Chain A
Amino acid sequence: MTIQETENKIIDEFSLFDDWMDKYNYLIEMGKTLPILDEKFKTDQYLISGCQSRVWLSAELSDGNVVYKADSDAVITKGIVNLLIRVLSNQKPEDILSTDMAFIDRIGLKEHLSPTRSNGLMSMIKQMKLYALVFKTKQSTLNLEL
């Protein structure tokens, strides 16, 4: 599935909710079903600093795609992290770099990404893109070497 297709799917899922409580209950569910991040990644090295909840993020390149894994100590944050991973994980670095994550606004969660909310999610997206950039640069260097 492309980034755009996953985004559309998430927008469809969220269109079913009548009120904020359903939406947040769904986010909480998503938070609880986020695949477990190995404890070895829960260190300061993988910590994305945010004032309110802690988020740990790891990334690796697998068959040319970036695979992200993450965790947070707050469930709603985990839910949103899960959404971000659904959209960006297993995608090519260049596709990750070019997406604007507009779906966040469409599903009415923009407030969580405001830089003033200081919950680290803005930093999370930045960090995800940074990983993609690193992998992309590494790939092109490798290509040159070949």
Chain B
Amino acid sequence: MKFDVNKIRNDFPSLHQKVYGRPLVYLDNAATSQKPKAVIDAISEYYSTINSNVHRGVHFLSQQATDAFEKTRNHIQQFINASYSHEIIITEGATDSINLVANSFGKKFLKQGDEVIISALEHHANIVPWQMICEEKQAKLKVIPINDDCELLLDDLSKLINEKTKIVSVGHISNAVGVINPIKKIIKIAHKNKIPVMIDGAQGIVHEKVDVQELDCDFYCFSSHKFYGPMGVGVLYGKEALLEKMPPYQTGGEMIKTVTFEKTTFNELPFKFETGTPNVADVIGFDAALNYLEEIGLENIFEYEKELLDYATTRLKKLEGLEIIGDVRNKAGVISFNLAGIHPYDAGTILDKFGIAVRTGNHCAQPVMDRLKIQGTMRASFAFYNTKEEVDMLLEALKKVKEMFG
């Protein structure tokens, strides 16, 4: 299939609006992506037809809703090539998934003096949950350092690992600067030492094909909303053997087998980790997103995104005074940059007036900014519905910004 970006843009209703009288140029995709009509329709269709509570209803609608819900789980399993569908836990988002693992894995396996390894490139969501559980368990949080180009220093990982290390948790692709981390190598190094690895794939799954069996990661998580699906839905993949050993995270209905006032026994995987009524409509909406992406073809999408990122990088670099943070070959989806002498907030405010949506600030990765000794950056993040013309519009607007603040 020939990739036709203009045809694709027609699938996304929100792209065709004007802001401040100018056509919207949406370059904040790493924060959340826009949704194709197929997803919006699926949610609307769900509430118009089979809306009902899942899993224990004997009636027709409940059966239909349960089937659609479980079909999504199976779809996710196939999509990331997990061994079993019960290794797919439906959560509220990547943050929720990390909290689940930090708390449940931490409760079971962490004890005083143990160590958890993350990296200096992490989103706050892959720092704070670990910090909290380490504090609770009096364990230590260790950090893989980065170089000035935001690449992880893997030699240091080998040095950080010791017999006290209980888990390594790192991002697949950095949300702040777009650098792709060498997760395969990290997993190999950790596994050589029999240490499980969690991958925060919130940005990763959006730009690279993920095969959890090939990666051999122990946990992988992501959010639907950054991947063209609805908000409020996330995925946690975990290897069966580990998930079986982990205690429930939150408790309530749905996740139990029997309850008496003396003792509660818990349901099997995956339900052990899915408490209460799930977000059925949006889970089904996520199924529609996966269908849509597969129809276009992930290879086509990733190839086009790469071409667009290369184009944007080349063009932006030509602007005098523009510095790209994390300017390495191995990156995806994101260009994080600064204009000499101009505060990112100032530039972002003016870009907004031109109808260009970028993000400015520390991108929920304060330690990265501290390490680079900068206050923040401007971040343009791309999706496969963005165009080269939009990159040109960004460039023209940045020239105006330079004039205004020069």
Contacts and interface: CB of A to CB of B under 8 A. Distances in A.
Given A21-B353, A24-B350, A74 B361 contact: no
Nearest to B376: A52
A8 interface: no
Please classify how large the interface on chain B is, using the bins under 10, 10 to 19, 20 to 34, 35 or more.
10 to 19
Interface stretch (B139-147, B227-235, B341-349): B341-349
Contacts of A74: 343, 345-346
Given A52-B376, A53-B346, A75-B346, 9 more contacts: A20-B353, A24-B404, A52-B344, A52-B360, A52-B361, A53-B345, A74-B343, A76-B346, A77-B345
A74 B342 CA distance: 8
Interface in A65-89: 73-77
A42 interface: no
A47 interface: no
Interface in B22-47: none
Given A28-B404, A75-B405, A54 B375 contact: yes
Contacts of A20: 20, 353
A51 interface: yes
Interface in A4-53: 20-21, 24-25, 28, 51-53
A73 B344 CA distance: 10
Interface of B: 20, 342-346, 349-350, 353, 360-362, 375-376, 404-405
A25 B404 CA distance: 7
A73 B404 contact: no
Given A76-B346, A119-B345, A28 B405 contact: yes
Central interface residue in A24, A28, A74, by most chain B CB within 10 Å: A74
Identify the 4 closest CB pairs spanning chains A and B, nearest first. A74-B343, A52-B345, A74-B345, A53-B345
Interface residues of A, number: 15
Interface of A: 20-21, 24-25, 28, 51-54, 73-77, 119
A45 B134 CA distance: 30
A24 B353 contact: yes
A9 B144 CA distance: 56
A28 B405 CA distance: 7
Central interface residue in B343, B344, B375, B376, by most chain A CB within 10 Å: B343
Contacts, number: 40
Contacts of A73: 343, 375
Nearest to B364: A51
A25 B403 CA distance: 10
B392 to A, nearest CB: 20
A24 B401 CA distance: 11
A21 B350 CA distance: 8
A79 B311 CA distance: 35
Contacts of B20: 20
A21 B360 CA distance: 20
A119 B376 CA distance: 13
6 contacts: A52-B361, A53-B345, A53-B346, A53-B375, A75-B343, A76-B346
Contacts of B344: 52
B343 A53 contact: yes
A54 B275 CA distance: 41
A76 B349 contact: yes
Nearest to A19: B353
B376 to A, nearest CB: 7
A25 to B, nearest CB: 6
B154 to A, nearest CB: 32
Contacts of A76: 345-346, 349
A143 to B, nearest CB: 43
Contacts of B376: 52
Nearest to B353: A20
A136 to B, nearest CB: 33
B107 to A, nearest CB: 33
Contacts of B346: 28, 53, 74-77
A111 to B, nearest CB: 9
A54 to B, nearest CB: 7
A113 to B, nearest CB: 13
Nearest to B352: A111
A69 B346 CA distance: 21
Nearest to A79: B346
A51 B361 contact: yes
Contacts of A54: 375
B329 to A, nearest CB: 31
